[in-house]
Amino acid sequence: MKKRDQKTEDTKPIEIPVSKDLQVNIKKIKEILIDCDDVIIREFSVGKRQNYKYALVYIDGLIDKQLINEYVMEALMHDGRDEVPNPRTVGSNLYKLSKEGGIPLSEVKDLNCLKTAVDSVLAGETILLFDGFSEILLTSSRGWPMRGIAEPVTEAVNRGPRDGFTETGKVNTSLVRRRIRDPKLKLKYQQIGRRSKTDVALMYIDDIVDKGVLKLVKERLDGIDVDAVLESSYIEQLIEDDWISPFPQIQDTERPDAVAASLYEGRVALIIDNTPFALLMPATFNSLLQSSEDYYSRWAGAFVVRLIRTIALPLALLLPSLYIAITSYHPGMLPTQLALYIAATRIDVPFPSFIEAFIMEATLEILREAGTRISGPVGTTIGIVGGLVIGQAAVEAGIVSPFMIIVVALTTISSFTLPNFSLTSGIRIWRFLLMILAAILGLYGIGIGLMLLLAHLVSLKSFGVPYFEPYSNFINDFSDLKDSIVRLPYKFMKLRPKYLRVGDKVRMNNSKDINSLVDESGGENKDDRGQ
């Protein structure tokens, strides 16, 4: 990826010094936030003689008003009257006295720039200004309405945690922290977006992560210069290696357990405020085919499920193009009875097989999009009923053959087995490309398309890691294949993936097999139970 230009001088934040005159500071804030009716500026006085002037500034709807009322205003205006500081020194130490002994909040911060203070107010904090002092006190008071923690919609599991990310970044990072109680887990915040100033949390485990990957992620984040970041896909598209490719090089997830598992493997996670989707990098083709539930099921069940998923992938990619190629160019490859049946069903179809397949695939894509836009049971009903009604009507009208309906149905069902939506989108794009090549050259066109697809996947990289690992290097090293097409029992996965070039390679120490421990400690008891 080409290195992006650094931020220009005119995009740097403007430093506005804080005046000792309270009214001057309030005037500057009003000029910056002009025509912002939700900005609240509350001036008040404290002290027995009401001779110390303060001002609170916050955004209505973004703060916890009860917290500010009880622990800032009441503490200063009411409780402060019961204290009797030295009258000769209270004036010069008013700021320090308020910070260290007047506001019973756990998180307060000093600010000496008015522009930074305004940015904090826009982020949901409250600032406290003092008359006669050129410092501003920032009090943590964020309290905007937020969606509760619920089960992820796009990554539902039968067995596993039911909590998913929300649109609040602090909540999301805490869900990950809850699963990794390790001081080596590092979290670094930065703001991206000149106007949105979106909080982005970079998370990694210091002694596991590949420092080269971490450095590359930081450099690409620092190179982003954009007005606003409204969703994690903005950042994903700006830092990925090959933006032309239809396949994602960064994995997205709304599951905290998936983020924790990736961090334990040595990956880097980005948690972006205002979106429930976190980003994981580097990503490989293999990791995009894996589901969290694969690790919560018994190894035999996960073994079979991954085999089914591996079989479904070529079906979702190749079935329509194979139908076009065989019916148009190579009918002799089919058994005689099947070839005669397909020919008989297509007697009344007025279109060639490519147009027939394209009509049905395009119709299914429209139904899929309609079902997505209409959420809930109605969307599901539209997808199912629409597919059945339109398919049956198309067959009766003689537009498509019954066999084509079977092919499209198998293709659609197979695509639903893929756990990552972005990967499914890439497969759908290549499916149409292979259909075009099959209509032109038959099986030869499919062969050319598959070679181009394989060459593209092998050439891709995700933050320096080959995209087709561990398959591209399995001749030299078989160890990473134990968690690829199939999943072996945990006792065989003692090392982290080698292709990630992690620091701490061992995740499970060599220990005695549990069966031998049972034999040594419980053999006599087993005989007793047998009696």
Taking residues 11-26, what's their average pLDDT? 80
Which residues are CB-contacts of 50 (< 8 A; sequence separation ≥ 6)?
A: none
- pLDDT over threshold 70, residue 512: no
Strand-pair partners of 58: 40
Q: What is the per-residue pLDDT for 217?
A: 95
- pLDDT over threshold 70, residue 529: no
Strand-pair partners of 222: none
- pLDDT over threshold 90, residue 156: no
Round to whole Å and give the CA distance between 526 and 407: 55
Round to whole Å and give the CA distance between 496 and 208: 9
- Both tokens assigned to 203: 């998370």
Main-chain phi, psi angles of 367, to 5 degrees: -65, -40
- Both tokens assigned to 505: 């390679």
Between the alpha carbon of residue 208 and those of residues 205, 311, 490, 496, 503, the distances in Å are 6, 34, 19, 9, 5
Q: What is the per-residue pLDDT for 188?
A: 95
Of the candidate ranges 181-195, 271-285, 473-487, the one whose mean pLDDT is the lowest:
473-487
Local structure of residue 498 (DSSP, 8 states): G
**Which pLDDT band, with edges at 50, 70 and 90, does 457 fall under?**
very high
Q: Which of 188, 191, 194, 189 is CA-nearest to residue 7? A: 194
- pLDDT over threshold 90, residue 470: no
Among 103-107, 462-466, 494-498, top mean pLDDT goes to: 462-466
Instruction: Indicate the residue type of 60.
Output: D
Round to whole Å and give the CA distance between 48 and 28: 29
Taking residues 83-91, what's their average pLDDT? 50
Q: What is the per-residue pLDDT for 276?
A: 94
- pLDDT over threshold 60, residue 86: no
**Which pLDDT band, with edges at 50, 70 and 90, does 2 fall under?**
very low
Q: What is the per-residue pLDDT for 525?
A: 46
Q: Which of 335, 327, 330 is CA-nearest to residue 352? A: 327
Local structure of residue 400 (DSSP, 8 states): S
Specify the 3-state DSSP secondary structure of 189: strand
Round to whole Å and give the CA distance between 319 and 411: 6
- Mean pLDDT, the chain, rounded, equals 84
Burial of 51 (0-12, 13-18, 19+ CB in 10 A): exposed
- In the chain, pLDDT over 90 holds for what percent of residues? 42
Q: Which of 244, 296, 301, 295 is CA-nearest to residue 426? A: 244
pLDDT in tens, 134-145: 888 888 888 777
Write down the residue that tokens 């970041």 correspond to: 229
Round to whole Å and give the CA distance between 481 and 472: 11
Specify the 3-state DSSP secondary structure of 136: strand
Of the candidate ranges 71-85, 296-310, 499-513, 517-531, the one whose mean pLDDT is the lowest:
517-531
Q: What is the per-residue pLDDT for 232?
A: 94
Round to whole Å and give the CA distance between 176 and 261: 10
Write down how long the chain is: 531
Q: Is the dihedral of CA 418, 424, 429, 430 positive or negative?
A: negative
Q: What is the per-residue pLDDT for 12?
A: 53
Whether the CB-CB separation of 436 and 358 falls below 8 Å is answered with no
pLDDT in tens, 26-81: 999 999 999 888 899 998 888 767 778 889 999 988 888 888 888 888 777 775 55
Among 55-69, 260-274, 511-525, top mean pLDDT goes to: 260-274
Q: What is the per-residue pLDDT for 7?
A: 46
Main-chain phi, psi angles of 319, to 5 degrees: -55, -50
Q: What is the per-residue pLDDT for 490?
A: 85
Whether the CB-CB separation of 316 and 418 falls below 8 Å is answered with yes
pTM: 0.84
Work out the number of other CB atoms within 10 angstroms of the CB of residue 163. Answer: 15
- Both tokens assigned to 302: 């996960």
Work out the number of other CB atoms within 10 angstroms of the CB of residue 37. Answer: 7
**Phi/psi class of residue 465: alpha, beta or left (left: φ > 0; alpha: ψ in -120 to 50)?**
beta
Tell me the CB-side half-sphere exposure of residue 206, using CA atoms within 13 A. 7
Q: Which of 227, 226, 223, 217 is CA-nearest to residue 279? A: 217
Tell me the CB-side half-sphere exposure of residue 251, using CA atoms within 13 A. 28
Q: Which of 200, 189, 185, 285 is CA-nearest to residue 234? A: 200
**Phi/psi class of residue 202: alpha, beta or left (left: φ > 0; alpha: ψ in -120 to 50)?**
beta
Whether the CB-CB separation of 25 and 18 falls below 8 Å is answered with yes
Whether the CB-CB separation of 102 and 76 falls below 8 Å is answered with yes
Taking residues 510-521, what's their average pLDDT? 55
pLDDT in tens, 235-253: 999 999 999 999 999 999 9
- pLDDT over threshold 90, residue 450: yes
pLDDT in tens, 390-410: 777 888 788 888 888 889 889
Which residue has better confidence, 68 or 315? 315
Round to whole Å and give the CA distance between 480 and 265: 12
- Both tokens assigned to 335: 């058994």
Taking residues 257-276, what's their average pLDDT? 94
Q: What is the per-residue pLDDT for 380?
A: 61
Q: What is the per-residue pLDDT for 264?
A: 94
Q: What is the per-residue pLDDT for 85?
A: 52
Instruction: Indicate the residue type of 529.
Output: R
Query: Domain-by-domain residue ranges, the chain?
Result: 9-139, 169-283, 299-466
- pLDDT over threshold 90, residue 227: yes
Q: What is the largest CA-CA distance in the chain?
A: 107
